[in-house]
Amino acid sequence: MNKTIWYVTKYFSPKTANSPGGRGWFLVDEMRRAGCQVVVISSDSNNLVDLPVLQARVTLQNADGVKIVWLKTMKYSVAKSLRRILSWFHFEWNLFWLDKSQLPRPDVVIISSLSLLTIINGLLLRFKYKSRLVFEVRDIWPLTIVEEGGFSNRNLFVRGLAWLERLAYRKSDSIVGTMPNLAAHVRSEIGCERPVFCVPMGVSQDHLNDVADLPVDYVERYLSSNKFKVVHAGTIGITNALDVFFAAAQAMREHDDIEFIIVGDGALRQSYQSQYGHLTNLVFAPKVARNMVQAVLEKGDLLYFSVHNSKVWDYGQSLNKVIDYMLAAKPVVASYNGYPSMINEAGCGNFVPANDVDALVVAILEMSRRNQSEREEMGVRGREWLLQNRSYSKLASDYLAILFPRGCK
């Protein structure tokens, strides 16, 4: 008999007509292809992805053989808000009272954060069905909101989340994280070793196939110069730590052969434009459709991303942006102090200390002075490594080996 997996998460991004889907979708779809029955239980309160509009409290959907149970849940528009927390509790309430009698009995229940509150329902499900319980960490909370959200460790809400986090680490049968050094964090939180595995972000065949060209006028206006292009593509917000990027552009304004291009939108775009819009070596380009991102990146000579100097990165990263960059077969430079991974393993770029403008300038100059064939070889190494090691078919196979060491059937 085929094994059954329940994947329970408040935030899930399915494949739709307007979206290729997110990590969770690609993993459960590959698990289904491997012969497992998969049930996803999620909410409709994620305003960042394309979700069905629910009329009933519970909506069942069959998506290419994956059964998805949608729970109608309180929505919110501001991430840092009381309404978001209330939405977490609303989801747990609906999950607890969900009539599960029509669902296939699970052999394993995966509780994927956020929200941390779901571990309580996960423990109840394990007790009821005598299943295995896997806790999946996609974002380390409450560490993230303490390091980057301005919350204190003494905050009652933070202390409650920390208690839930430690409970999840202690009581789960296995822990799976998208970050490669999560085991060190688990050990520091509970003081003992637990079975911790890494299943990071990956690249899907749909992602590879869904590539569109840029409009000709877009290329001519923003990407047509013959200069050495340093490109950042993505959200322009406080968590993206882009002060260093703009400071480097200002410091290098006399280098006529180097151009900085930032592609995207976000809360800080207007502020940066007001402060740095006068620079002749800096181009602000509009956001493009998801399937045009590769076309933008391929016009660059060096791709850049940055993060804040935060303890969160001590445990590694698995960012969608890094996947996109490596897939574009271009060398990468990042302002990043954390646990090394991917870019180092592939040999397709360099890390410089976070918030260090001088170090970034040196790295850009060094990369610009390499011959083009050397840079191309570096970029190709990144793409080939990514396709070999981060395909979702491989990642799902690795995941199933954690869930069912003896096989899915």
Return the CATH number at 227. Answer: 3.40.50.2000
284 and 170 part of one domain:
no
Residue 1: pLDDT band (50, 70, 90) is low
Q: Which of 173, 199, 225 is where one domain is finished?
A: 199
339 and 261 part of one domain:
yes
Residue 116: pLDDT band (50, 70, 90) is very high
318 and 340 part of one domain:
yes
Residue reference for tokens 């290329």: 219
262 and 311 part of one domain:
yes
Residue 79: pLDDT band (50, 70, 90) is confident
Give tens-digit pLDDT for 161-174.
999 999 999 999 99
Give tens-digit pLDDT for 126-137.
999 999 999 999
The pLDDT of residue 406 is 73
Q: Domain span at residue 118?
A: 4-199
Bridging pattern class, strands 258-263 and 228-233? parallel
Give the least confident one: 9-13, 77-81, 198-202, 278-282: 77-81
d(CA 189, CA 162): 9
Is residue 283 within 8 Å of 212, Cβ to Cβ? no
- Rounded to 5 degrees, what angle do the CA atoms 91, 92, 93 make? 90
75 and 142 part of one domain:
yes
265 and 135 part of one domain:
no
Is residue 43 within 8 Å of 10, Cβ to Cβ? yes
The pLDDT of residue 65 is 94
Mean of the per-residue pLDDT values for the chain?
94
Is residue 369 within 8 Å of 384, Cβ to Cβ? no
Asked if residue 401 is part of any domain, the answer here is: no
14 and 54 part of one domain:
yes
Asked if residue 222 is part of any domain, the answer here is: yes
The pLDDT of residue 33 is 95
Residue 78: pLDDT band (50, 70, 90) is confident
Give tens-digit pLDDT for 281-331.
999 999 999 899 999 999 999 999 999 999 999 999 888 899 999 999 999
8 bridge partner residues: 41, 111
The pLDDT of residue 77 is 84
Asked if residue 409 is part of any domain, the answer here is: no
Spatial CB neighbours of 182, under 8 Å, sequence gap ≥ 6: 137, 140, 175, 196, 198, 315, 316
Give tens-digit pLDDT for 95-105.
999 999 999 99
The pLDDT of residue 274 is 97
Residue reference for tokens 């850049």: 304
d(CA 252, CA 260): 10
Give the long-range contacts of residues 246-253, CB within 8 A, separation 24 or more. 246/272, 246/275, 246/276, 246/282, 247/357, 248/357, 248/360, 248/361, 248/364, 249/276, 249/279, 249/281, 249/282, 250/276, 250/279, 251/357, 251/358, 251/361, 252/281, 252/361, 252/364, 253/279, 253/280, 253/281
- Is the Cα torsion angle 135, 136, 141, 147 positive or negative in sign? positive
Asked if residue 408 is part of any domain, the answer here is: no
Is residue 50 within 8 Å of 36, Cβ to Cβ? no
Asked if residue 278 is part of any domain, the answer here is: yes
The pLDDT of residue 407 is 63
* DSSP structure class, residue 140: -
Asked if residue 311 is part of any domain, the answer here is: yes
- Span 194-215, average pLDDT: 92
Residue 408: pLDDT band (50, 70, 90) is low
What residue type is assigned to position 373 of the chain? S
What is the separation of C-alpha 132 from the centre of its chain, rounded to a whole number of angstroms? Answer: 26
| pTM tops 0.85 | yes
d(CA 286, CA 218): 9
| pLDDT of 409 strictly over 80 | no
- Span 329-357, average pLDDT: 94
Residue 209: pLDDT band (50, 70, 90) is confident
% residues pLDDT > 90 (the chain)? 87
Q: Which of 199, 215, 241 is where one domain is finished?
A: 199
224 and 371 part of one domain:
yes
Asked if residue 143 is part of any domain, the answer here is: yes
Q: Is 72 helix (H, G, I), strand (E, B) or coil?
A: coil
The pLDDT of residue 50 is 80
Is residue 139 within 8 Å of 315, Cβ to Cβ? no
178 and 236 part of one domain:
no
Query: Which helix (H) or strand (E) covers residue 8, if one does?
Result: strand 4-8
Residue 81: pLDDT band (50, 70, 90) is confident
Q: Which of 138, 164, 199 is where one domain is finished?
A: 199
DSSP E strands, 32-167: 37-43, 58-63, 66-71, 108-112, 132-137
If one counts the domains in the chain, the total is 2
245 and 163 part of one domain:
no
Whole-number Cα distances in Å, 69 to 41, 42, 156: 5, 6, 32
| pLDDT of 48 strictly over 80 | no
Task: Supply the DSSP string of 333-354, one letter for each residue.
Answer: EEE--S---THHHHT-EEEE-T
Q: Which two tokens stand for residue 157?
A: 């809400």
Asked if residue 22 is part of any domain, the answer here is: yes
Q: Is 138 helix (H, G, I), strand (E, B) or coil?
A: coil
| pLDDT of 175 strictly over 70 | yes
19 bridge partner residues: 16
221 and 186 part of one domain:
no
303 bridge partner residues: 231, 332
179 and 239 part of one domain:
no
The pLDDT of residue 286 is 96
